[in-house]
Amino acid sequence: MEHTITTFYQFADLTDLQEWKSRLEELGEKEQVLGTVILGKEGINATISGPEEGVRDFMAFIRADERFAGMPSRSTFTSRETFYRLRVVIRDEIVTLGVPGIDPTEVVGQYVEPEDWNALIDDPDVLLVDTRNDYEVELGTFKGALDPDTQNFSEWPDFVKDSLKKSPKRKIAMFCTGGIRCEKASSHLLQNGFDEVYHLKGGILNYLEKIEPEESLWEGECFVFNHQVSVTHGLKDGQAVLCFGCRWPLSDDDLSSPDYEKGVSCPKCNKELSDSKRESLRERQRQVELARRRQETHIGRKMPVPKASVKTPPPA
């Protein structure tokens, strides 16, 4: 079965969070839409998957609100399993930077279209910065990009203070997967004394969709936040797989290592896993394989309510 995968985000003033959560959960169940939707006072950020018609109706519902009427989105298609359930969560930030007062709706860097990106980053006066986390950079990045070596986006302010402010180059070009981190990161830089800040419009996914491989400066695959794991040019499925022990994408060398155990561990985490964690992952993998042989869904499957747990009123 082919799944439609759609990513989208929009910074907007959103206060009716609980109402949005309830309505999206109800609609997601009706339309068989899975994935993760993050709601916050600053807007919405999501990656969802499901039948093409269901995803289309889900998006139409959101865009019916004038705050999201012009919200862009990007869709790809895959036969792989993507998500196992729908999670609609409410957070303080739709992408967590942890710095109060950063508002991309008020100040943001200059957007650069994919067709103009190569010329910008070829400029020797430009410092090219990858705003993503270490496990994402591991799988692929733009040639010559500076790796901030962060484990999560909340470490970005420390990277700026400890490294970026010390660079002699003040012309900054940055990129991320879909664009949302760059909007916040560029807003943060502008409020910290950087005058000339650029970011790739629509992120790496937009670049890979529009730029032909022979013209591309991208090297490797792009990590995506679903069980598709990675994509390449044309947004085609990549070859990467994920380690469930540490959540890192794995290379061919990792997969051929004696420290790799499918669904359990890889060379990066094998020696760090506790016995209880290892056995838990092995049991999970056994259940996944059994469910696959029965052509059933294991992870995310709704379990029936045991009869004994259903309370009935006492007789009158």
- The tokens 């090297």 sit on which residue? 219
Whether residues 125 and 208 fall in one domain: yes
In a domain, 81, yes or no: yes
pLDDT at 314: 41
Whether residues 74 and 117 fall in one domain: no
Percent of the chain at pLDDT above 90? 71
- Residue 53 in tokens: 């018609």
Whether residues 131 and 83 fall in one domain: no
pLDDT at 226: 61
- Calculate mean pLDDT across residues 145-161: 95
Q: Which range is least confidently modeled, 1-10, 251-260, 287-296?
A: 287-296
Whether residues 127 and 173 fall in one domain: yes
In a domain, 39, yes or no: yes
pLDDT interval class at 229 (50, 70, 90): confident
In a domain, 280, yes or no: yes
In a domain, 161, yes or no: yes
- Calculate mean pLDDT across residues 37-51: 96
| C-alpha span between 233 and 231 (Å, rounded) | 7
In a domain, 124, yes or no: yes
| Structural domain ending residue among the three candidates 27, 62, 90 | 90
pLDDT at 308 over 50: no
In a domain, 130, yes or no: yes
In a domain, 306, yes or no: no
| Structural domain ending residue among the three candidates 195, 220, 245 | 220
Whether residues 77 and 115 fall in one domain: no
Residues with Cβ < 8 Å from 82, sequence gap 6 or more?
Answer: 3, 5, 34, 35, 49, 226, 227, 228
Which 8-state DSSP code applies to residue 261? B
Whether residues 207 and 264 fall in one domain: no
Expressed as residue numbers, the domain containing 44 is 3-90
- For 302, other C-beta atoms within 10 Å of its C-beta total 8
- Calculate mean pLDDT across residues 263-286: 90
Percent of the chain at pLDDT above 70? 91
pLDDT interval class at 298 (50, 70, 90): very low
The overall average pLDDT reported for the chain is: 89
> What is the count of structural domains for the chain?
3
pLDDT at 227: 60
Q: Write out the DSSP string of 11-63.
A: E-----HHHHHHHHHHHHHHHT-EEEEEEETTEEEEEEEE-HHHHHHHHHHHH
Whether residues 53 and 21 fall in one domain: yes
Whether residues 116 and 213 fall in one domain: yes
- The tokens 């018609």 sit on which residue? 53
pLDDT tens for each residue of 4-17: 999 999 999 999 99
Whether residues 80 and 127 fall in one domain: no
In a domain, 259, yes or no: yes
Residues with Cβ < 8 Å from 91, sequence gap 6 or more?
Answer: 38, 39, 40
CATH code, domain with 50: 3.30.70.100
Give catalytic residue positions: 176
